Structure 1
Amino acid sequence: MSHTPRLWTVLSCSLLVASLGAGATACGTGDHPLSASPYDAADQVAFNQKAGSRPIDPDRPLEVTLKGEEGRITDVTVTDTHGRRLAGELSADGDRWHSTASLAAGVRYALTVSTEDEDGAPGRRTLSFETTPAKKLLKAEFGPEAGTYGVGQPITAELSEPVKDKAARAVVERALVVESSPRVDGSWYWVDDKKLHFRPKEYWPANSTVSVRSNLEGVRVGDHLYGAAATPLKLTIGDRVEAITDASAHQLTFKRNGEVINTIPVTTGKPGFSTRNGVKVVLGKEYFVRMRGTSIGIAEGSSESYDLPVYYATRVTWSGEYVHAAPWSVGSQGYENVSHGCTGMSTGNAAWFYENIRAGDIVKVVNSIGNEMDPFGNGFGDWNLAWDKWRQGSALLAGTPDRTPADTARLRPQV
């Protein structure tokens, strides 16, 4: 490819300008190579995968090379239908560009190659191609359902396939984006190979909004495993509500946005059935529950056996711990612990509590002789892990120093 006439024009213009002296102009800038419209670089570059009607294999790296020894490649951009740019590396002499990240599966790409010839004139080659769809998809389902929740509500992500490899977990975690207004510092925690929880460093700010989305669609996670599209989620966070039960004082203190709203006499678990200490998150509310001792391992007919209709029940563990009406123990409420692990109160107080609490609110028990609330597996005990330990459950943050919200955001670029 030759552009000698253009070079001759430039040289002639330069000589003429020199002869006219400083500040004189005799040629228009349109004759300069850099001002020319890009020529078609189709004959200057080659691709290792053919573009056309047939999709290409996303498992193969993409490569653009220069034909011959004249000119060079100056830039390559490859963007998919989701606006994600494919990372790549250009050689120092501009004769080769290759992708450094995996292509996404089942998407269309737009590729633009910028070049210049031996005279510095710009060239361009554009084309588009599709990649073959993935045969095995990794789906992510976010929870809880859209709605309004308390400041303690974790975000959950359930995966359709187990992800064990640390590098693959990092790919997944980077693509699961949680944004809040106002902004907070937070992190995902891998509960197991198929389940992640997200929580902020502190409780969500009262009256904030939280949005969750996935950039995983088409992204290569592992061998022949690619991300699927996911339904985004939006939550509203209500007031900061905390119900703090002091098991030794037999009293529940109800706080809203830091202000004490109510104090309620209660009874908690007696010896052998002591209520768990620690922070629990309200899982839901049930106006009526039939509670049986057999559900917690008490043999039917034993001295501890019971079968009771219970009203205004607020659930805090999957194993059956509630805050509920217990009219049979009113004489003990405020004085001694006589329950089988639940927090009991009068029917009137339980009705008030039921009306003023919602899923995601904090229920904290202190000064009980019971065990500590498990972080996972029996509800949402996430807040019982200190922040430094929580970070160790992240594939991106484990082993790194604590970060600001801006640092955390940089860990979640578009993929």
Structure 2
Amino acid sequence: MNHDEPFRGIGARTAVGCTLLLTALGVGVAACSSDDHSLSAEPYDAADQIAFNGPDEDGKKADPDKPLEVTAEDDDGRITDVTALDATGRYVAGELSADGTRWHSTSPLAANAHYKVRVSTEDEDGAPGRKTFTFTTGKPVTQKRLGVTFGPKTGEYGVGQPITAKLNKPVRDKAQRAVVERALKVDSTPAAQGAWHWVDDKELHYRPKEYWPAHAVVQVRSNLEGIKISDRLWGGKSKPLKLTTGDSVIAVTDAASHTMTVYKNDEVIKEIPVTTGKPGFDTRNGVKVVLGKEYFVRMRSATVGISEGSSDSYDLPVYYATRVTWSGEYVHAAPWSVGSQGSANVSHGCTGMSTGNAEWFFDTVREGDVVKVINSAGNTMETFGNGFGEWNLDWDKWRGGSALVAGDPQGPSSEEAARLRPQSV
């Protein structure tokens, strides 16, 4: 999960007295000295050491485009801690120098936001001082806003369901992507390590390192509102998302043994004889995620480029169809191939089974459940563009697609995904 925490800096004691200069977003500050302070369990009032002459003035607001800065001008004291957060609870990340003479913000401030800042000091005798102040930032000059739409819809899903974040405007610069990504928060209970991956300039996907825990609660939100992304683009409002996971249901189809084994919470609950794609129409290997279920689908060979009159042409009513790719790969009832199920691969790419088994499978799985194919001669499922193939990237390559991880993104882009095709049987 992503968490922004305030920077805490603790250092050695120095000399007596401390003069602090506070500059928020380019606002100047006055300086003043203090007398010696005796040791005390409670922080003394450091108001005389800190002056803030911008946001305190009537009608004046701080510029969100400039950093917040706190400095100790003299050699007689040090800053030990600066904590800044806005009214929504967003912390401002910052860095404190090793000698405690300067703290500055390293994350952007939000526009049109109210901030509370606490500055802690220390004199040579170890006596702590503290000053708390507030200020408000102004509105950005630009009116362009970056909106984020999270997916899927609120509901219950399988443990393989990725989170999607679609942007209403493209973000190409890596530094700007980092600002966006840092503000997109995903929290799950139980906790699960995860990361965002940029699919393209307008879309990110999030998945855990492993599948989601069963019966987890996943909450997704954006902290971008009011945050500067570029000179002409600021974060806008976004609707949060909450979803839950059900039991862990994972179906593994072995194309070589013509068998599907279905696991529920790591226990085998059913083994099903199946048929998969024949040579030339081999079923994709790898992990796919259930995209939806359709009781009836009419499947025609013309939609996958097979001409009428060919020995491979077909036009069939198909029942209990569980979709795993947008190009038309399903797990479905195939009563016409029952004689081959469990012994041969005769389909045009789908996983076929008896009507009774297909009905059971249809009723057992939900959107987001995992369907994995092994030992097929087919290509590996596309990472993006034809459903959810995210799980086919190893963790290091997945993290390589994050703007917050050093190095260039790795793994196939959406443009590299294969051309989509309609239904096959």
**TM range, smaller chain:** 0.7 to 0.9
CA gap of 1:367–1:76, structure 2 versus 1, over 3 A, is closer
In 2, Cα distance between the equivalents of 1:275 and 1:215?
41
Residues 128-183 of structure 1, C-alpha deviations (whole Å, 9 max, x = no match): 32320451211111111111111111111111222222222222222212122222
Which amino acid letter does the alignment assign opposite residue 85 of structure 2? T
CA gap of 1:204–1:38, structure 2 versus 1, over 3 A, is closer
Q: Which has the larger radius of gyration?
A: 1
Q: Secondary structure at the match of 1:216?
A: coil
Which amino acid letter does the alignment assign opposite residue 167 of structure 1? A
CA contact (8 A) 1:269 1:339 kept: yes
1:136 to 125, 144, 155: 144
Deviation at 1:109, TM superposition (A): 2.9
Is 1:57 aligned to 2:63, yes or no?
A: yes
Is 1:327 aligned to 2:335, yes or no?
A: yes
Unaligned runs of 5+ in 2: 1-36, 409-425
2:25 matched residue in structure 1: none
Residues 202-231 of structure 1, C-alpha deviations (whole Å, 9 max, x = no match): 111222222222222222222232222322
**Alignment of structure 1 residues 1-400 onto 2, 5 Å:** 38=45, 45-47=51-53, 51-53=57-59, 55-62=61-68, 78-87=84-93, 99-110=105-116, 126-133=133-140, 135-398=143-406
Return the structure number with greater helix share. Answer: 1
Unaligned runs of 5+ in 1: 1-30, 401-415
In 1, Cα distance between the equivalents of 2:185 and 2:207?
12
Query: How many residues end up aligned between the 2 structures?
Result: 366
In 1, Cα distance between the equivalents of 2:250 and 2:94?
50
CA gap of 1:124–1:393, structure 2 versus 1, over 3 A, is closer
In 1, Cα distance between the equivalents of 2:262 and 2:232?
52
Which amino acid letter does the alignment assign opposite residue 394 of structure 2? A
1:11 matched residue in structure 2: none
In 2, Cα distance between the equivalents of 1:39 and 1:279?
60
Q: Give the alignment's TM-score, normalised by structure 2.
A: 0.75
CA contact (8 A) 2:146 2:169 kept: yes
Bigger drift between 345-354 and 330-339 goes to 330-339
Q: Secondary structure at the match of 1:168?
A: helix
CA gap of 1:340–1:111, structure 2 versus 1, over 3 A, is same
Deviation at 1:99, TM superposition (A): 4.6
In 1, Cα distance between the equivalents of 2:100 and 2:371?
62
In 2, Cα distance between the equivalents of 1:166 and 1:85?
22
CA gap of 1:255–1:55, structure 2 versus 1, over 3 A, is same
Root-mean-square deviation (Å): 3.5
CA gap of 1:340–1:93, structure 2 versus 1, over 3 A, is closer
Which amino acid letter does the alignment assign opposite residue 105 of structure 1? A
> % of aligned pairs identical?
62
In 2, Cα distance between the equivalents of 1:89 and 1:278?
44
CA gap of 1:141–1:329, structure 2 versus 1, over 3 A, is same
Deviation at 1:36, TM superposition (A): 11
Which amino acid letter does the alignment assign opposite residue 136 of structure 2? F
In 2, Cα distance between the equivalents of 1:325 and 1:234?
34
In 2, Cα distance between the equivalents of 1:210 and 1:289?
32
CA gap of 1:73–1:131, structure 2 versus 1, over 3 A, is farther
In 1, Cα distance between the equivalents of 2:39 and 2:254?
80
